[in-house]
Amino acid sequence: MTKPALTLLIAAPRGFCAGVDRAIRIVELAIERYGAPVYVRHEIVHNKFVVDNLKAKGAVFVEELDQVPDGVPVVFSAHGVPKVVPASAAERGLEYLDATCPLVSKVHRQAERLVAAGKHILFVGHAGHPEVIGTFGQVPEGSMTLVETVADAEALEPADPDNLAFLTQTTLSVDDTAAVVGVFTRRFPSIVAPRADDICYATSNRQAAVKAIAATCELMLVIGAPNSSNSVRLVEVAEREGTPAKLIQRATDLEWDWLEGVTTLGLTAGASAPELLVRELVDRLATRYEVAEREVVTTHEDLTFKLPRGLQAA
Ligand code: SF4
């Protein structure tokens, strides 16, 4: 029996960003250097496949530092940690490696500088996300206010409206953030903006790549984890273009009835999802469809980040 035809538009860029690549490499090199087990505080990146692979190599994932036994090295995840975490690791004499993405660290340093300059920071982000917890943990309590939505921004009653600055989480929706920032600048015209956009290059490039194909697809599949902020944003971007979208972690999560009536399918992957998972999905599609694959490239990425000094090749 001949298989039905399916045009598959694959967004590019997609998948791993430079910060995720670096964080995974740090755990692998730490295991090579110190031997297993190496403890990792929080999922190094929000992807089960990546975490399971590292577990198999000797990484042990915990949520808090007090779950790390004395005398073993610990890695902090790409999302960043409050200042108190490395401080308590140092107090206990633990060897630690910081895999915080340099673009998240950049926001941390901006927060510190703004607070030192006497500003109150409005921080656009999602409550409870580890990056938000890490960034709030860079500055004294009370010096930063979380703003999640346009409604939050409209409801703000800051004590000193002429002495504000704003910063954002790195993995937000470009469009939603612009709307929140629009409210800030209208209500507080003297608010200090970050020097460069805090939404990282990987987040905005992946959203732009989805925008470029979503309208021509009847369905968009996003490979990523439900707790991966940038992956969830990709689903929203497609839906805003009027295209239904599904977030899946592995090829086996695909339900065939989603594809009923679909002749053009869009595919992308969040910044913490490896390319291998994209290929796995294409292979599964090919078991039932005659797949014509086309990559739609909106921009090229070649950014890489240096490893921490202790792990660089001699
Ligand atoms: Fe860094 Fe952006 Fe990747 Fe997060 S998504 S690790 S901020 S490059």
- Model pLDDT, residue 196: 83
Name which residue sits closest to atom 6 of ligand 1, judged by CA.
Answer: 19
Nearest to 270 by CA among 219, 202, 216, 211: 202
The answer to whether the CB of 77 is under 6 A from ligand 1 is no
CB 279 within 8 A of CB 293: no
The answer to whether the CB of 169 is under 6 A from ligand 1 is no
**85-133 tens-digit pLDDT:** 999 999 999 999 999 999 999 999 999 999 999 999 999 999 999 999 9
- Model pLDDT, residue 310: 79
Q: Which among 171, 230, 305 is the best mutation to test ligand 1's pocket, defined by most ligand atoms within 8 Å of the CB?
A: 171
Q: What does the longest C-alpha to C-alpha distance in the chain come to?
A: 71
The answer to whether the CB of 203 is under 6 A from ligand 1 is yes
pLDDT band at 1 (very low <50, low <70, confident <90, very high): confident
- Model pLDDT, residue 111: 98
**155-199 tens-digit pLDDT:** 999 999 999 999 999 999 999 999 999 999 999 999 999 988 899
Q: Which among 22, 101, 233 is the best mutation to test ligand 1's pocket, defined by most ligand atoms within 8 Å of the CB?
A: 101
Looking up tokens 């930063």 gives 144
With 0-12 CB in 10 A as exposed, 13-18 as middle and 19+ as buried, what is 209? Answer: buried
The dotted CATH code for 5-16+201-297 is 3.40.1010.20
The answer to whether the CB of 273 is under 6 A from ligand 1 is no
Burial 182-203 (b: 16+ CB within 10 A, else e): ebbeeebeebbebeebbbbbbb
What residue type is assigned to position 133 of the chain? Answer: I
Q: What is the pTM of this model?
A: 0.96
Name which residue sits closest to atom 8 of ligand 1, judged by CA.
Answer: 19
Q: Three-state SS string across the chain, please?
A: CCCCEEEEEEEECCCCCHHHHHHHHHHHHHHHHHCCCEEEECCCCCCHHHHHHHHHHCEEEECCHHHCCCCCCEEECCCCCCCHHHHHHHHCCCCEEECCCHHHHHHHHHHHHHHHCCCEEEEECCCCCHHHHHHHCCCCCCCEEEECCHHHHHHCCCCCCCCEEEEECCCCCHHHHHHHHHHHHHHCCCCECCCCCCCCHHHHHHHHHHHHHHCCCCEEEEECCCCCHHHHHHHHHHHHCCCCEEEECCHHHCCHHHHCCCCEEEEEECCCCCHHHHHHHHHHHHCCCEEEEEEEECCCCCCCCCCCHHHCCC
Counted residue by residue, the chain has a size of 314
The Cα–Cα gap between 136 and 287 comes to: 48
Query: What is the residue-averaged pLDDT of the chain?
Result: 97
- Model pLDDT, residue 240: 97
**Residues catalogued as catalytic:** 131
Residue 28 CA, chain-centre distance (Å), reads 20
Residue 308 CA, chain-centre distance (Å), reads 20
- Model pLDDT, residue 197: 85
Task: Looking at the CA of residue 230, tell me the nearest atom of ligand 1.
Answer: 5
Name which residue sits closest to atom 1 of ligand 1, judged by CA.
Answer: 19
The dotted CATH code for 103-187 is 3.40.1010.20
- Model pLDDT, residue 81: 98
How many whole angstroms from 248 Cα to the centroid of ligand 1? 20
Domain with CATH 3.40.1010.20 in the chain: 5-16+201-297, 103-187
- Model pLDDT, residue 311: 86
Domain with CATH 3.40.50.11270 in the chain: 18-101
The answer to whether the CB of 20 is under 6 A from ligand 1 is yes
Q: Average pLDDT for residues 262-268, to the nearest whole number?
A: 98
The Cα–Cα gap between 61 and 39 comes to: 6
The answer to whether the CB of 130 is under 6 A from ligand 1 is no
Instruction: Lowest mean pLDDT of 166-175, 250-259, 302-311, name the range.
Output: 302-311
Q: Average pLDDT for residues 56-72, to the nearest whole number?
A: 97
CATH topology for the 18-101 domain: Rossmann fold (3.40.50)
The Cα–Cα gap between 138 and 84 comes to: 8
- Model pLDDT, residue 314: 57
241 Cβ neighbours under 8 A, 6+ residues apart:
210, 211, 214, 215
The answer to whether the CB of 26 is under 6 A from ligand 1 is no
Q: Which two tokens stand for residue 141?
A: 């309590």
